[in-house]
Amino acid sequence: MDLKDSFRNTYHRGILKDNHDNYDYDFVRIARKQSVLTFKTKFLNPQYKPLYWETPFKELVYTSPEERVIPQYRYMLTDLPVTELGIEEFTQRVVDGIKAYLRETLPGINCLMLHSGGYDSRILSCCMRDLWLDEGLRFNIHFRCHQPEEPMFLEIMKRQGWDKSFYSVYPGQKDNYYNIGLKENTLNGWQNYNQSMNFWSDITDNEKEYTLMTGLSGELFKYIALHGKEKYPARCGNDNLNILAQYNPDEGQWDTLYMKKFNDLVMPLYSYTYLNEALRVNPKWCKFNGETDEVRIETTRRFRYNCTDIPYGRHSYSWSLDNDFFKSVYNEFYASKFYKQFGKWIKRPNFKNLYKWDAKMWGFMTVYDKLYESS
């Protein structure tokens, strides 16, 4: 499966397959290869809970971990022995795993990193700063944050010593700050429409100029703390990897949306060199303090930049959506090809809830209409 360069060193989710040995991360592109597409109307039932591998089309499913992991890392799909190291040594190995990925991946690319005020982001930018100062590696990187995390983000950048040309906060507009609900921003599956947000439009209107970096998957230790005893579908034989897959957004639609929009996507906290260490965590260390977990706090102590005591700050999205916005969202939906085809099975949705079935249906409408835009 040779889809993108980043597949070589990263565990990617969200990869689709059909019945003809076609694989792709782009929902519309692989759907267009099908001679027949059968929509599952059960997806229009708000009470229906799709299985993790399901898509709204009968002919397309998500691949299993065994199908998409590269062969030399297939051992990671079975339970790995818990580390015998102490937490200081363990978190240093975690840092070393991140640096190995960054060292191999970042040089020579034009990279935009979505940097919050949280611990994943500060760990990643600390690793990059170490490589910059200690090894002389130079990255063409820009760190981008959005409100309301500006104070924490700016303090992180200041303590790490980045020049101001390397980072910025999205200015945006007061209403619809994240630019969601635009039908032309096609999503990538059965996906909440608020995941189409864009807070980098002032940097570029051509996302293919950039490779995007995110800190997705860093919440592994929090998920173990909060969900370690719960029952969930087993994608593979590694319990920690199953927990991560269960509680990260959907089945990877967010990741692959970014892969589709940008030149490529790099995810250091889904890299094999990181997961090889992180999946061995001692569960006794995985304690949640109401904001973050103790393992990530300890990881920040492996650097000299004193980023540990900067308040975390919650990822609170201030959507600022008014009645005119929702009127437009409803009008777009009722005028869509998707609604004209399947409206008789749809009860009046509530698109004001940005995280449930209604929002996923609106998001898939953008996919369906893009797929059949010439018909």
- For residue 204, being part of any structural domain is answered with yes
349 found inside a domain: no
The pLDDT assigned to 204 comes to 95
Structure confidence by residue, pLDDT tens digits, 333-368: 999 999 999 999 998 899 999 999 999 999 999 999
Residue 216: inside a domain, yes or no? yes
CB 97 within 8 A of CB 273: yes
Beta strand 23-24 pairing with 16-17: antiparallel
Tally the domains of the chain.
Answer: 1
Is residue 172 in a domain? yes
pLDDT in tens, 119-143: 999 999 999 999 999 999 999 999 9
Could you state, in chain order, the average pLDDT of each consecutive group of 10 residues for the chain (375 residues)?
Answer: 75 95 95 97 95 96 94 96 98 98 96 96 98 97 94 97 98 92 96 95 96 96 94 93 92 94 96 98 95 95 96 75 96 97 93 94 98 82
294 membership: H or E segment, kind and range: helix 294-300
Contact assessment for residue 109 and residue 290, using Cβ atoms and an 8 Å cutoff: no
- Residue 77 and residue 237 in contact, taking contact as beta carbons nearer than 8 Å: yes
Q: Per the domain annotation, does 314 fall within a domain?
A: no
CATH number at residue 70: 3.40.50.620
Q: Tell me the H-state helices in 81-144.
A: 87-105, 119-134
**pLDDT by residue (tens digit) across 255-294?**
999 999 999 999 999 999 999 999 999 999 999 998 889 9
In a domain, 328, yes or no: no
225 within 8 A of 288, measured Cβ to Cβ: yes
Boundaries of domain holding 232: 66-300
pLDDT for 122 equals 97
Look at residue 2 and tell me if it is in a domain.
no
- Tell me, yes or no, whether 38 lies in a domain: no
Q: Which residues contact 71 (CB under 8 A, 6 or more apart)?
A: none
Tokens 């199953």 label which residue?
A: 242
